[in-house]
Amino acid sequence: MSATKLDSILEGRRSQPHMLIEVMLDLQDQEGYLPEDALKTVSKELGVPLIDVYRVAHFYKAFSLKPRGKNVITICTGTACHVRGSHLLVNQVRGQLGIEPGDTTPDGQITVECVNCLGACALGPIVVQNGSYCDHMTPGKLRKKIDKAAGKKKEAKDA
């Protein structure tokens, strides 16, 4: 990660330990994960012991210490989505990609995550793909979506 990018995230926040979560959220949004070197810099610049930086990184679901896949697929498993069958979507992912929620496919194309409610409950089950919301999802629709996301790499290879 470039020093200037990290610099701009730290701008105006140095020596302010309470800014840790905001800084880390910006870092996560920027890089898609939290690089180890960046965290060491954050620890130094904000004045937070490194162990506490890692505690925060592991405590909150927003953070990932490993790089995420090119496509991030988030399945909502809140109550309203659950009663409409969100667990079937999770099963679909397991069967189709062979990974558990929280993991990334070996080829780095797709990361699957679960989230405990996005607040769009009347339209569930909800799946968010790279920031855009998809409503009334079914295992069939999800299968097509995943195929498309994985297929993009194939097309690029063939091209």
Q: Which residues bind other proteins (CB under 8 A)?
A: 17-22, 24-25, 36, 46, 48-56, 58-63, 77-83, 85, 87-88, 91-92, 94-96, 115-124, 126, 133-135, 138-140, 143
Nearer to other proteins, 60 or 154 (CB): 60
Q: How far apart are the first and last CA of the chain?
A: 30
Instruction: Tell me how far apart the alpha carbons of residues 19 and 142 are, in angstroms, rounded to a whole number.
Output: 38
How many residues are present in the chain?
159
Cα–Cα distances (Å) from 116 to 19, 77, 108, in that order, read 25, 5, 24
- The least distance separating other proteins from the CB of residue 81, rounded to whole angstroms, comes to 8
- Nearest distance from C-beta of residue 136 to other proteins, angstroms: 9
Q: How far apart are CA 113 and CA 154, in angstroms?
A: 23
Distances (CA, A) of 159 to 69, 144, 154: 21, 22, 9
Task: Return the number of the residue (51 or 156) whose C-beta is nearest other proteins.
Answer: 51
CB 38, min distance to other proteins, A: 13
Nearer to other proteins, 5 or 82 (CB): 82
Residue 35 and residue 1 in contact, taking contact as beta carbons nearer than 8 Å = yes
In the bound state with other proteins, the residue whose beta carbon lies nearer, of 4 and 38, is 38
> Smallest distance from the beta carbon of 159 to other proteins, in angstroms?
28
What does the alpha-carbon distance between residue 53 and residue 23 come to, in Å, rounded to a whole number?
11
Work out how close the CB of 119 gets to other proteins at its nearest, in angstroms, rounded to a whole number. 4
Structure tokens at 47: 């004045």
